[in-house]
Amino acid sequence: PYISSYTMGFHHGKHYAAYVAKANDLLKASPLAGRPIEEIIRETAGKDDQAALFNAVAQAWNHAFFWKCLRPGPGAKPTGKLAGLIAEQFGNFETFQEKFLEAGKSLFGSGWVWLGLDTGKLKIVTTSNAGTPLTNGQKPLLVIDVWEHSYYLDHQNRRPDYLKAIMEHLVNWEFVASNL
Ligand code: FE
């Protein structure tokens, strides 16, 4: 009831598949072919002549990471060390949720909302388009896709409802904690 199979059919089956196909196609003619995807992302970031390759590989990576952040409901909460860090930095889990949802709602245009680790501290950050925290030294822990293709079929313009549905029901906190 939170993300329909119709949405996932397009999101995973068309949008994500297209990024992967495009990345593989562009890499055929690139000296970066065969390198780990994180290195390709860092090597191409911010370079005008590599923008098409960066967009394709970063979107492929961001989506692959996003799928791992999801799991079927019922909703859960972080535990252990991650729960401790969240309580330490945000006061409590509910405040963290509010701040994360607000960041996702406020991002103008297409992009991603992340929980990342930056020199031992949790940070909520947003990136536009294909942007990823991998290029600014942060370790991604959790991401939610806020491109319209991820929610429009189910929620139309109601991005906040989509973000809330994921945060309350679908986050794979075991995966998030494993990224620490
Ligand atoms: Fe997407």
pLDDT at residue 178 in the model:
97
Q: How many angstroms is it from 150 CA to the middle of ligand 1?
A: 5
pLDDT by residue (tens digit) across 59-86? 999 999 999 999 998 888 999 999 999 9
Token pair of 62, please?
Answer: 């961001």
Q: How many angstroms is it from 84 CA to the middle of ligand 1?
A: 30
Evaluate if pTM is beyond 0.95: yes
Indicate if the pLDDT at residue 1 is higher than 90: no
Q: Determine the distance from the C-alpha atom of residue 21 to the mean position of all C-alpha atoms in its chain, rounded to a whole number.
A: 19
pLDDT by residue (tens digit) across 132-146? 999 999 999 999 999
Type and span of the H or E element at 173: helix 173-178
pLDDT at residue 165 in the model:
96
What is the 3-state secondary structure of 70-85? Answer: ECCCCCCCCCHHHHHH
Q: How many angstroms is it from 63 CA to the middle of ligand 1?
A: 6
pLDDT at residue 33 in the model:
97
d(CA 30, CA 70): 32
pLDDT by residue (tens digit) across 8-59? 999 999 999 999 999 999 999 999 999 999 999 999 999 999 999 999 999 9
For 31-84, the DSSP string reads TTTTS-HHHHHHHHTT-GGGHHHHHHHHHHHHHHHHHHTB--SS-----HHHHH
| CA R_g for the chain | 16
Work out the pLDDT band at 117, boundaries 50, 70, 90. very high
Q: How many angstroms is it from 91 CA to the middle of ligand 1?
A: 31
Q: Report which of 168, 170, 66, 156 is spatially closest to residue 115, judged by C-alpha positions.
A: 66
Strand order in the sheet with 111-118: 121-128, 111-118, 139-145
